[in-house]
Structures are given as C-alpha cells and as structure tokens.
C-alpha cells in the first residue's frame, strides 16, 4: 500500500511534489510483467501490483482495468518479445528457428503459456506472428489447412511449456514418482515400463542430463509435429497433381 509523507492534518502531497514517478498504464504493465517473471502470472494480486507502483488498487483499475485486463496486457508484452525469423526461409526452417524462441520467451513468465494455450493473445498482439507464420504455410502449399497447421504447432508449444511450468512447481512430487518409475528398469516382464525406468534412471543419475530434459522433450514434440506436417504437405501436393486438369 502506498505511503505518503505528510504533516498531521495536512493534505497528501501530489506525486510530482513528493518526487514520485507518475502512475501510467505502461508503468503498471511493466510492473505486472516483472511480477509475472518473479512469481508467475497467476501468483500476484492487484493489491501487490498496486504496491509495486506505489499506488492504490483503484488507480491501477483506472489506468488499465481489472486483473484479467492487466493479464491480457502482460500477455501482449510477452508475445511482443518473440523474435520472428526471416520471412524468406522455407516454412520448416522458419518454424525450426521460431519455435525454440517461443519456449525461451514463455519460460521467462511462468503461467503465460497456459493462458496463451487457452485463450491466445489479443488480436492486435497476435497479428504480426500469425500473419507471418500462416503466410509461410500458405506459401508452402498448405492452402486452407494453413491456419490449422499453425494452431497445431503453437498449441503444442504452449502446452509443453505449460506442463514444464506446472511440474516445476511440484518438484518434490515429481522426484518421488521418478524413483517409483525407475524401479521398473529391471522388469523384463514389462518391457515398456523397463524402457521408461531405464530412461528415468539415467536422468536421476545425471543432473546435467536431467536439467535439459524438458528442453529435449519440447524439441521432440515440435519436431514430430513438423514431420507430420511435412508428410501432410506431400499428400496435399499429390492430391493437387491428381486434380490438375
């Protein structure tokens, strides 16, 4: 809660007179972005945000709106941090370069991936990324399937980052389960569980390998999606050749 230096019985001094910076929409969203990086998008309150800009919650509401409105503004800033690859790249090279950036940016702000997977950013914030990404798919020959292909890739990316965020917040439970699965590594009667147990045993035994697990899992997921889309493009091209007059 803001504090004001004043003599007993006197009126509060203005922000300018007391040397405090003005409260603006940009400053509020900046503070919300910082709080999201520190504790997660869903883990700060409007009162905490108001305190971060040395104001009352009503002032935040006046300049931006309620908490959900602030969250939308934060997500727009997050999307604005994405770097778009060169538009002259082939569709697969473009996404090979873009999708790792998505994970890097979303991991800076835990909780943002889940919100984006569910609701997406505002239309204005989405236009540059969507227009370019879907445009690369259109140019490649996906036709009317281009928006579906784009949504598949971005939804997969957001979901895997959201999973990483959630599991990181429940690390103790995750470690307990890892030990349970690792115990199956010698079960010849359960070859699938044995393979999983051996994989997890390697992670438990090597901290460096464990540290990069989610990055590798993310890469595997998006690459297999890209493989599937590449196969689908081959099918679409074949259908196009068959239907040519």
Each residue's pLDDT tens digit, 147-192:
999 999 999 999 999 999 988 766 555 666 777 888 888 889 989 9
Among the residue ranges 34-38, 74-78, 139-143, 239-243, the one predicted with the least confidence is 239-243
Do residues 134 and 140 make contact, with C-beta atoms less than 8 angstroms apart?
no
> What's the 3-state SS for 151-192?
HHHHHHHHHHHHHHHHHHCCHHHHHHHHHHHHHHHHCCCCHH
Same domain, 75 and 91: no
pLDDT at 113: 97
Each residue's pLDDT tens digit, 50-88:
999 999 999 999 999 999 999 999 999 999 999 999 999
Query: Which of 23, 46, 80 represents a domain boundary (last residue)?
Result: 80
pLDDT at 171: 54
The yes-or-no verdict on residue 9 having pLDDT over 60 is no
Going by pLDDT thresholds of 50, 70 and 90, the confidence category of residue 11 is very low
Residue whose entry in the numeric block shows the structure tokens 């990316």:
157
The yes-or-no verdict on residue 6 having pLDDT over 60 is no
**Host domain of residue 225:** 84-169+212-243
Same domain, 106 and 27: no
CA-to-CA distance for 8 and 17, rounded, in angstroms?
17
pLDDT at 48: 97
Enter the pTM of the model.
0.83
Number of CB atoms found within 10 A of residue 154's CB: 22
Q: Residue 153: inside a domain, yes or no?
A: yes
Q: Average the pLDDT over 225-241 and give the result.
A: 94
Each residue's pLDDT tens digit, 86-132:
999 999 999 999 999 999 999 999 999 999 999 988 999 999 999 99
Q: Residue 202: inside a domain, yes or no?
A: no
CA-to-CA distance for 95 and 228, rounded, in angstroms?
13
Same domain, 237 and 148: yes
The CATH number of whichever domain residue 34 belongs to comes to: 1.10.10.60
Rounded to a whole number, what is the largest CA-CA distance in the chain? 89
The yes-or-no verdict on residue 229 having pLDDT over 80 is yes
* Helix then strand then coil, % of the chain, to nearest 5: 75, 0, 25
When divided into structural domains, the chain yields a total of 2
Of 176, 126, 122, the closest CA to residue 151 belongs to 126
Query: Which of 80, 99, 134 represents a domain boundary (last residue)?
Result: 80
CA-to-CA distance for 216 and 223, rounded, in angstroms?
10
* Lookup: tokens for 233: 């493009």
């Amino acid at each position: 809660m803001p504090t004001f230096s004043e003599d007993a019985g006197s009126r509060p001094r203005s922000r300018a007179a007391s040397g405090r910076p003005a409260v603006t929409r940009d400053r509020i969203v900046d503070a919300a972005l910082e709080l999201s990086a520190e504790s997660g998008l869903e883990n700060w309150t409007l009162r905490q945000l108001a305190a971060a800009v040395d104001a009352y919650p009503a002032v935040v509401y006046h300049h931006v709106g309620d908490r959900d409105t602030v969250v939308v503004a934060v997500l727009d800033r997050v999307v604005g941090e994405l770097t778009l690859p060169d538009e002259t790249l082939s569709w697969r090279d473009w996404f090979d370069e873009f999708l790792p950036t998505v994970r890097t940016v979303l991991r800076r702000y835990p909780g943002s991936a889940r919100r984006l997977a569910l609701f997406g950013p505002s239309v204005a914030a989405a236009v540059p990324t969507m227009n370019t990404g879907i445009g690369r798919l259109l140019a490649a020959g996906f036709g009317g399937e281009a928006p579906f292909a784009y949504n598949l890739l971005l939804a997969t990316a957001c979901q895997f980052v959201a999973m990483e965020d959630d599991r990181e917040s429940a690390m103790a439970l995750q470690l307990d389960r890892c030990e349970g699965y690792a115990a199956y590594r010698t079960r010849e009667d359960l070859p699938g569980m044995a393979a999983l147990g051996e994989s997890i045993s390697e992670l438990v035994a090597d901290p460096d390998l464990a540290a990069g697990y989610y990055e590798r899992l993310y890469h595997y997921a998006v690459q297999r999606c890209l493989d599937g889309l590449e196969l689908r493009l081959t099918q679409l091209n074949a259908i196009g050749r068959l239907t040519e007059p």
